[in-house]
Structure 1
Amino acid sequence: MANEATTIGQRLRQARLNRNISLDELQQITKIQKRYLEAIERGDLDQLPGAFYVRAFVKQYAAVVGEDGDRLVAVLDGKEDIVPDLPKRPRPETVQGSRKSLHVEEPSSRWKKMLPVIVMGLIALLIVGFVAYMTWQDRNADPMIVESSVTVEGSLADSSTKESSSKAESSSSKTEESTTETTESSEEKKMAIKMDSNTQAEANMSITDAESPIELSFTGTQGPCWVGVTINGGYVYQYTVQAGETQTTTLPENAENATIILGASGNMSIKANDQDLDFTDPNLEALRKNINLTIQYQQAED
């Protein structure tokens, strides 16, 4: 029994390490005290309250780390052969780095992006300077006709200036109206996030007018937190975010539903396309929590 317990404890511990889950996170997820989890990993099952709790705790532990809890209990009861040790796997490396590091632009890249703006600004300055120069030339030109015609020319110039001013004002008014319409159209399509219901263990939220794909950003606050994202019941992302760390993942194109699973919800803040997902409630204890998202996307313009 002792050898079986030690082997099972080692197997469960290795499975936990392979999934990058700490004992504190495992305690949050299973609600089993940390000292009992440590006793299971050591194979010191006499430290647990009784035989019933041994079986229950081993099954709960196994379910979180992806092991067959029923078989492990059968081994403890002598009904199955001893389970071989789980092969150790190296800690997964982050191949592409965090999303933050990927978004750090080189100076040359920033200059390339700013170049069109600089060119347009110079062209605008040249146009303004040319118009000012021509206006100055017109005002300082010597009269070429008799004095009796000067008044007429001045009147015509005033009339031309008024017409130009009227056209400029009309053009400016149209530009402002176009800008206003564009701004209003943009504001109408701004993504909105709504809380439909919220309990200690589960929150239901709706996202409308979203741009596809949606990028989720996870930031650790007070401590580490295990994060899982599922689509149609299957995991598409798993990671343990440390305090002060930010990690991101992108949902599949036009995914209409997603579930975010947090091991310690009080240690996490989340954004969707740079907008906060406010799932906290001061009246609810921040423990393990599922956040169910229902997503509607913007309709493509004709």
Structure 2
Amino acid sequence: MTELGNRLKEAREEKGMSLDDLQAATKIQKRYLTALEEGNYDIIPGKFYVRAFIKQYAEAVGLNSELLFEEFKKDIPNSYNDEVSDKLSSIKPQRELPKSASKALELLPTLLVVAGVIVVVAIIYVIIQAVNSGGNQQSAEQPKTEESQSKYDVSKDSPLTKENQKDANADKNSGADDKEKDDQQSDEKEKLSIKAVSSEGTSTTYEISGADKLELEVKASADSWVRVRDEKGSSLKEGMMKKGETFQKNITEQEQIDLRIGYAPGVEIKINGEALSYELDPKNVMTQNITIQNKKEEKSS
């Protein structure tokens, strides 16, 4: 096992991830992950994939891939020669076209221009015909429309008019009630405050205040390892979450919730339906520790 392989394996074990967990998070076959830890690069198809797999492995376990490449550049194969040879082998000598084909290519621009002119003329003709027929039809139907409107005019005092007025007033009142409910829901949502108060390394602390009830929701948009603990350190959720899986928990009575996310780009955290915005960019810090503190004294005031 190489020194680089030891470094990768130690970081994986510190996160409590098995090779199966890492395979689910990186989409790299388990045998290739084992080869990286053992320094056996011969079974990996090409030097380019060796470097790509090392980068994905490192980011999944919270290591800086650029620093690894710099520190172990003597042990990691350089993919430059492979890329140059692949590009040279992919270049094929051009074959001369037959004379008949070259003449056809010379005439192609002219044929395209003629075809384009014909299409434009046809479109203009269709538009003119549509405008003319539409004008004639409108002038012919206008007297009929006026006649039908006068035929079905209803006086202001008729029962039909009064009934319609009642329905209109009822709809108006219903709309006002719905608007009042929406305003109340909006005010309650505005009371919720989610604020990042500190951030260090891969850890961020958020303070939540202003809501009578707190509902935590963790949803996986991609496979990721997730751990959720309450204020006493008891595990509420731990293990791999498959894509589309959701974990929900009422945390109103909890003063603090601790989360560890193995693959942050694939996990969304919500409080009362409002998404928690990662203070640390998930693309740069894929493994993150999230602490949520419930400021009960602010909520009660």
Query: For the superposition of Structure 1 and Structure 2, which TM-score range results when normalised by the shorter chain?
Result: 0.3 to 0.5
**TM-score if structure 2 supplies the norm length?**
0.39
**TM-score if structure 1 supplies the norm length?**
0.39
